[in-house]
Chains A and B, each alone.
Chain A
């Protein structure tokens, strides 16, 4: 099965390709506020390098948020378009959950501004805390009370050091736990501030 993996829900831009659960192509770099410029060219590059044409992907795996207001919409819009046009299945994965993988117990964090964080807590295949917004004070307390969990994310805003996520690997890792979208045309991002 050929899967196209896309994410721009935070400050990075990530594009990957997997065949039968094995990553054969991946790139990821910081592209804050320029993701819309680079996403399509990066997909073209992935298509060229892997020799898999867009219409031949069986599945699109895409980050759905929470995260950057514009960022979460860029990858999702492109993923929906490809899915609707090619008939590929669309699966959406939490942009917090993708920070870790199925082997880990982890707390994933993204700065939600106004002294708040997006937080999701996961233990292997289990969701311990569904993605939500907490005050930074509550987040720090949570981290302190759960020392056995690894903490992922760019945590400079909390004056903490978080582990750097492996986005493409993380997304693919959880893919089999996620149901495909029944109607990709109407799939929506998860912003949590709506």
Chain B
């Protein structure tokens, strides 16, 4: 099946999927906090666009409500909240050193291949567009997880966590045209609360250890000292 045989909006969704994956790689490599937050907002905007496209492809207009939620949460509220925190904690210009960025990027590329390897044998995923989009959303989730693992700064870990959430939302939109509304609202509520709690934690961590470097949270071990 060729890309050209798909309708224009479907091609749009596929292109957006590729861009979302690209933004995941950008997030992984971005070392400056303010650019990191901007890239995260960009990923949110791409997912918003993809959701709007899917709403018109599927004719399920309740997706537009999900799209509006995404626009509000992922493009404005969460990045805005993070920017505010970063300013208030005075770490806007902070640059994080990623240990061995080359290896991390190669690993992320490996995760993309792994996602395809997992999804290819499934008969139900035989449609070109679903197969690619589900695979990409899985890759976005896994790369978000890699980001949580590889970063040391609490803000970067939170962005990794939220980008996993982006991947999950994208998966729901492209595979099943969104979850039932009540579930979507529940998830959005959880995300909202999580962001607020993360903000609270930033202040606690900062008060306790004087920075947001989570590597210094290392008091709890199996052996008594």
A complexed with B:
no
Interface residues of A (CB under 8 A from B): none
Interface residues of B (CB under 8 A from A): none
